[in-house]
Amino acid sequence: MSLTWLFEPFSHEFMQRALFGCALIGFTNGALSAFIVIRRLALMADAMAHSLLPGVAVALILFGLVPGTLFVGALVAALLVAFGTQIISNSSRIKEDTALGLLFACSFSLGLVLISFSRVSVNVSDYLFGNILGLGDADLWVIYLISFIVLPMLVALERPLLLTVFEPSVAASQGVPVNTLKYLLMGLLVLSMISSLQAVGVILALGMLIAPAATIYLLSDSFTSMFWLGGTLGAVGSCTGLLISFWLNLPSGPCIVLVLGVIFLVAYLFSPKYGVVTRLLRPRHLHEASLARWKLSEQQRTTANDKEHQR
Amino acid sequence: MSDHRLEIKDLTVSYRRVPAVHHVSLELRCGSCVGLLGPNGAGKTSLFKALVGLVPLETGSMSFHGDSQGLLKSTIAYLPQRTTVDWDFPITVRRMVEMGRYQALGWWRSFREEDRQAVGRALEAMELEELGERQISALSGGQQQRAFLARALAQEAHVFLLDEPFSGLDKPAQDLLSGAIRRLANAGNLLVVSHHDLRTVRDLFDQVIFLNGELVAFGDTNLVFTAENIRKTFQTHIFSGSAHEPDLAV
Select from B85, B105, B135 the Cβ nearest to the Cβ of A167.
Answer: B85
State the pLDDT at residue B246: 39
State the pLDDT at residue B188: 92
pLDDT digits over B178-207, tens only?
999 999 999 999 999 999 888 889 989 999
State the pLDDT at residue B1: 44
For the domain made up of A4-211, give the CATH fold: ABC transporter involved in vitamin B12 uptake, BtuC (1.10.3470)
Contact A173 B96 (CB under 8 A): no
Say if CB A236 and CB A72 are below 8 A apart: no
Domain ranges across chain B: 1-74+159-164+194-250, 76-157
Contact B74 A174 (CB under 8 A): yes
Determine how β-strand B18-29 pairs with β-strand B5-15. antiparallel
B64 phi/psi in degrees, rounded to 5: -120, 130
Instruction: Give the sign of the dihedral formed by CA B8, CA B14, CA B15, CA B19.
Output: positive
State the pLDDT at residue B244: 41
ipTM of the complex: 0.84
User: Is the Cβ of A4 closer than 8 Å to some Cβ of chain B?
Assistant: no
DSSP of chain B: -TT-EEEEEEEEEEETTEEEEEEEEEEEETT-EEEEE--TTSSHHHHHHHHTTSS--SEEEEEETTBTT---TTTEEEE--GGGS-TTSS-BHHHHHHGGGHHHHTTTPPPPHHHHHHHHHHHHHTT-GGGTTSBGGGS-HHHHHHHHHHHHHHTT-SEEEESSTTTT--HHHHHHHHHHHHHHHHTT-EEEEEE--GGGHHHH-SEEEEEESEEEEEEEHHHH--HHHHHHHHHSPPP-S-TT-GGG--
Select from B54, B76, B92 the Cβ nearest to the Cβ of A169.
Answer: B54
- Kindly list the residues from chain B whose CB atom is less than 8 angstroms away from the CB atom of residue A165: 89
Minimal C-alpha gap between B135 and chain A (Å): 6
Q: Which residue has the higher pLDDT, A281 or B16?
A: A281
Residue of chain B nearest A40, judged by CA positions: B86
- How would residue A66 be classed by pLDDT, with cut points 50, 70 and 90? low
State the pLDDT at residue A76: 85
- Tell me the angle at which helices A13-38 and A137-156 cross, rounded to the nearest 10 degrees: 30
User: Is the Cβ of A221 closer than 8 Å to some Cβ of chain B?
Assistant: yes
DSSP of B81-105: -GGGS-TTSS-BHHHHHHGGGHHHH
State the pLDDT at residue A191: 87
In this structure, of A4-18, B97-111, B148-162, B226-240, the range with the lowest mean pLDDT score is B226-240
Average pLDDT, chain B: 86
State the pLDDT at residue B249: 36
Best mean pLDDT range from A55-64, A284-293, B165-174, B241-250: B165-174
Minimal C-alpha gap between A171 and chain B (Å): 10
Select from A160, A174, A223 the Cβ nearest to the Cβ of B91.
Answer: A223
State the pLDDT at residue B64: 83
Contact B73 A173 (CB under 8 A): yes
Minimal C-alpha gap between A76 and chain B (Å): 31
In this structure, of A200-204, A228-232, B31-35, the range with the lowest mean pLDDT score is A200-204
State the pLDDT at residue A200: 81
CA A232 – CA A205 distance, rounded (Å): 17
For the domain with range B1-74+159-164+194-250, which CATH number is right: 3.30.450.80, 3.60.70.12, 3.40.50.920, 3.40.50.300? 3.40.50.300
State the pLDDT at residue B69: 63
Select from B85, B105, B107 the Cβ nearest to the Cβ of A157.
Answer: B107
DSSP of A6-27: HHHHHHSHHHHHHHHHHHHHHH
Q: Which residue has the higher pLDDT, B235 or A94?
A: A94
A147 phi/psi in degrees, rounded to 5: -60, -40
Query: Please, how many CA atoms are within 13 Å of residue A118, restricted to the half-sphere of its CB?
Result: 25
Contact A221 B52 (CB under 8 A): no
In this structure, of A127-141, A228-242, A260-274, B70-84, the range with the lowest mean pLDDT score is A127-141
Instruction: Tell whether the model's pLDDT for residue A302 goes beyond 80.
Output: no
Instruction: Tell whether the model's pLDDT for residue B236 goes beyond 80.
Output: no
